[in-house]
């Protein structure tokens, strides 16, 4: 599958700036996600080996996110509009990409319907493996436009199409949060806010808001170091980003470092540290001896790059948090254990997660994170603190995990936020994270 992208896109004859080309590229991205790749990996693979303008890259990425946030609905529509599942998979996903552009967002269509139909047909006609299906593409999309009122009403009766999640995900959310399940699902289908963390060593929240305003960017403080932009902008357009004045970090994620109550001179471990956002925050707060650990060499490089941009230093090491062969046997004062999880609390930012995860994943990852916690606990000084953090909203990965750990190891549980649900109900507007703080007595 690696080389097929170059063949069918490079040889299609489609103009790179055309919607037809962008639909073809996005269909290939969605194919890769359906075959088990993460959305960032799928995008990077499709973008590699060919020259894409920034506008084309942005459009392909935007449509990809839009499709994955509406995949349950467009799958339902395709099922109703065809006698059998279209083959190959690329054709099916081309229809999904075109259908999603025929759905209004907040009452507004991105493109005129006739443009979407014409360009989808052009995309099919220009791809050798799909050329015989251009008539099907034309018929399906035109039928949708004729029957969309009835089709969308029918979709509201099918949970997967109505909410755009797998049925098991919907059921699990309803069971875990019977009072909040609808709002959690709704928020998961919306674009996330762009929240920044101000580097307190280089600026202040008030000073940075003035800097943003002077650049024509509306911003508001939502925490001691947290600033939310009224409208997302590309990273290279964020004032002071390249100079290390700010980092992109969700408001809930910015709670981790303050919970440890760090003091100068402490020896601190950030386990599973990549990409380094929480490491940077801890170093901004105190002069600590920080070890940032991760099991992946490439992810360690991300930590280096982030800390270098911020003007901060830490020791980094490649190592498995379930083992001790990387440890110097000198206990830590504080440990941040941002353990592996299903990432079910950050699906606004990663809409592919809901389609890639399986029901058994949370139990498997809970078992792994418990092995990590047990191992790290032995590295903590008496009187030291360990912070369990996850970006999951499944209880077995969060509250149940914390209770099991506390009971098994006699860990004293201190005050911490617990389960934060993803919400857009207030000014802060954060992701779904969980925190449990323990003291070793």
Alpha helices by DSSP H, listed for 164-296, are 167-176, 181-188, 205-214, 256-259, 277-285
Tell me what the pLDDT averaged over the chain comes to.
94
- Residues contacting 195, CB < 8 A, separation 6+: 222, 226, 227, 228, 229, 248, 249, 250, 251, 254, 429, 430
pLDDT at 424: 58
H or E element that contains 349? none
With a CB cutoff of 8 Å and minimum separation 6, the contacts of 114 are none
Q: What is the pLDDT of residue 106?
A: 76
pTM of the predicted structure, to 2 decimals: 0.92
Catalytic (active site) residue 391 = yes
- Residue spans of the chain under pLDDT 70: 1-12, 424-428
- Among the residues of 18-166, which ranges form H helices? 19-34, 39-47, 54-69, 71-81, 89-101, 113-126, 134-155, 159-163
pLDDT per residue as tens digits for the range 323-380: 999 999 999 999 999 999 999 999 999 999 999 999 999 999 999 999 999 999 999 9
Is residue 8 within a helix (H) or strand (E), and if so which, with residue range? Answer: helix 4-10
| pLDDT tens digits along 58-86 | 999 999 999 999 999 999 999 999 999 99
Q: Which of 31, 97, 341, 391 is an active site residue?
A: 391
Do 197 and 249 touch, CB atoms closer than 8 A?
yes
DSSP string, 140-177: HHHHHHHHHHHHHHHHTTSHHHHH-S-HHHHHHHHHH-
pLDDT at 108: 84
């Amino acid at each position: 599958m690696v080389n097929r992208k170059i063949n069918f896109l490079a040889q299609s004859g489609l103009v790179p700036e055309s919607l037809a080309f962008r639909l073809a590229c996005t269909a290939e991205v969605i194919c890769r996600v359906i075959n088990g790749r993460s959305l960032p990996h799928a995008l990077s693979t499709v973008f590699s080996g060919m020259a894409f303008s920034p506008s084309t890259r942005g459009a392909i990425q935007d449509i990809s996110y839009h499709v994955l946030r509406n995949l349950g609905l467009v799958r339902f529509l395709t099922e109703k509009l065809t006698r059998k599942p279209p083959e190959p998979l690329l054709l099916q996903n081309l229809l999904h990409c075109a259908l999603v552009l025929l759905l209004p967002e907040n009452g507004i269509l991105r493109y005129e319907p006739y443009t979407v139909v014409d360009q989808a047909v052009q995309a099919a006609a220009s791809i050798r493996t799909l050329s015989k299906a251009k008539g099907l593409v034309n018929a399906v999309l035109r039928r949708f436009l004729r029957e969309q009122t009835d089709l969308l009403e029918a979709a509201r009766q099918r949970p997967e199409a109505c909410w755009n999640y797998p049925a098991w995900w919907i059921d699990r959310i309803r069971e875990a949060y019977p009072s909040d399940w609808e709002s959690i699902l709704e928020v998961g289908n919306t674009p996330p806010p762009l929240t920044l963390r101000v580097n307190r060593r280089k600026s202040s929240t008030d000073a940075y808001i003035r800097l943003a305003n002077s650049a024509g960017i509306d911003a508001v403080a939502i925490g001691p170091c947290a600033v939310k932009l009224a409208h997302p902008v590309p990273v290279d357009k964020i004032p002071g980003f390249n100079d290390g004045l700010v980092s992109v970090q969700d408001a809930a994620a910015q709670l981790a470092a303050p919970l440890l109550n760090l003091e100068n001179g402490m020896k601190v471990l950030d386990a599973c540290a990549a990409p380094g956002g929480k490491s940077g925050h801890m170093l901004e707060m105190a002069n600590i001896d920080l070890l940032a650990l991760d099991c992946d060499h490439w992810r360690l490089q991300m930590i280096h790059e982030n800390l270098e941009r911020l003007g901060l230093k830490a020791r980094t090491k490649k190592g498995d948090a379930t083992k001790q062969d990387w440890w110097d046997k000198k206990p830590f004062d504080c440990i941040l254990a941002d353990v592996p999880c299903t990432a079910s609390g950050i699906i606004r930012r990663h809409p592919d997660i809901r389609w890639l995860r399986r029901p058994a994943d949370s139990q498997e990852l809970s078992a792994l994170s418990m092995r990590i916690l047990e191992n790290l606990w032995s590295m903590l000084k008496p009187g030291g603190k360990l912070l369990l953090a996850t970006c999951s909203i499944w209880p077995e990965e969060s509250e149940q995990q914390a209770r099991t750990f506390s009971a098994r190891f006699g860990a004293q549980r201190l005050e911490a936020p617990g389960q934060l649900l993803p919400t857009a109900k207030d000014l802060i507007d954060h992701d779904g994270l969980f925190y449990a703080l323990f003291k070793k007595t």
